[in-house]
């Protein structure tokens, strides 16, 4: 039996990067999937088409910065599959700038997309989880350590950790678990666009001497979504190649 067979997963930001890897990995493990996307329409439709060969899957274009959009997405998921067993909050953006120069618009957009959207979507999903559920929120190494030039991003990702720990305490009695995966440096489109000298410096600071792959984050999510982690809640799983968090 596959690890997520007979489970339905709702995954936000599932069209590319880490989100796409999670969608693909969950499909291989037998989950039925609803995933959201905002701008990558072609990529989302191609992913949906390819994975329909192995599982039931549906993609919806959704702006989760709006509470009503989260409500509509959850309704569509329930209409499509009848239940939601797993929620993965992955949608996120960056708008980097030094703190003193950061535009208020960039602060607000990152907080709304990375943090408020999790509140909106999680609140709607838990109303539909019956007796059991797993919520996985994607944070970041910089949500733990902070990072210059990323006050908005680091704040949003740190907020995810506090949110998740609090939610785990409130929902534990309903057998709904809530955990965090905090990736380190992962080979995504964002990494590929950066200066090679900067990448070399970062790589040298990682004990495993390499960047991670999206599939390695997806594997951590499979563990937390499956019954293998049935007694784990309120935890942060750091997937960062051994980087020190002190």
What pTM, to 2 d.p., does this model score? 0.95
Catalytic residue among 120, 153, 213, 231: 153
Is the CB of residue 113 less than 8 Å from the CB of residue 93? yes
pLDDT of residue 194: 67
Would you call 153 a catalytic residue per the annotation? Answer: yes
pLDDT of residue 199: 83
pLDDT of residue 196: 83
pLDDT of residue 217: 98
Query: Any idea which architecture 8-185+213-239 has in CATH?
Result: 3-Layer(aba) Sandwich (3.40)
Contacts by residues 23-26 (CB-CB < 8 Å, ≥ 24 positions apart): 23/47, 23/51, 23/57, 24/51, 24/215, 24/218, 25/215, 25/218, 25/219, 25/221, 25/222, 26/86, 26/218, 26/221, 26/222, 26/225
pLDDT of residue 203: 92
pLDDT of residue 191: 75
Say which residues have a Cβ less than 8 Å from residue 168's Cβ, sequence separation at least 6.
Answer: 177, 178, 179, 233, 234
Q: Helix, strand, or coil here: 239? A: strand
Residues of the chain predicted below pLDDT 50: none
Distance CA 52, CA 84 (A): 19
pLDDT of residue 198: 76
Distance CA 94, CA 114 (A): 9
């Amino acid at each position: 039996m596959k690890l997520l067979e007979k489970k339905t997963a709702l995954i936000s930001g599932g069209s590319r990067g880490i989100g796409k890897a999670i969608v693909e990995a969950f499909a291989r493990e037998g989950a039925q999937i609803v995933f959201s996307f905002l701008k990558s329409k072609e990529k989302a439709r191609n992913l949906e088409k390819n994975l329909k060969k192995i599982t039931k899957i549906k993609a919806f274009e959704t702006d989760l910065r709006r509470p009503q959009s989260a409500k509509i997405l959850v309704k569509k998921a329930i209409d499509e599959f009848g239940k939601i067993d797993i929620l993965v909050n992955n949608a996120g953006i960056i708008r980097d700038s030094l703190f003193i120069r950061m535009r208020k618009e960039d602060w607000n957009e990152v907080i709304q997309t990375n943090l408020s959207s999790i509140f909106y979507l999680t609140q709607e999903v838990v109303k539909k989880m019956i007796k059991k559920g797993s919520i996985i929120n994607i944070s970041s190494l910089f949500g733990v350590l902070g990072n210059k030039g990323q006050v908005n991003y680091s704040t949003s990702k740190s907020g995810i950790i506090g949110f998740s720990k609090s939610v785990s305490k409130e929902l534990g009695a309903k057998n709904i678990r809530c955990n965090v995966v905090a990736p380190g440096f992962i080979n995504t489109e964002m990494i590929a666009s950066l200066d090679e000298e900067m990448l070399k410096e970062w790589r040298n600071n990682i004990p495993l001497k390499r960047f991670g792959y999206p599939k390695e984050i997806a594997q951590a999510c499979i563990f937390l979504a499956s019954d293998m982690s049935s007694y784990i809640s309120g935890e942060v799983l750091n997937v960062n190649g051994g980087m020190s968090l002190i």
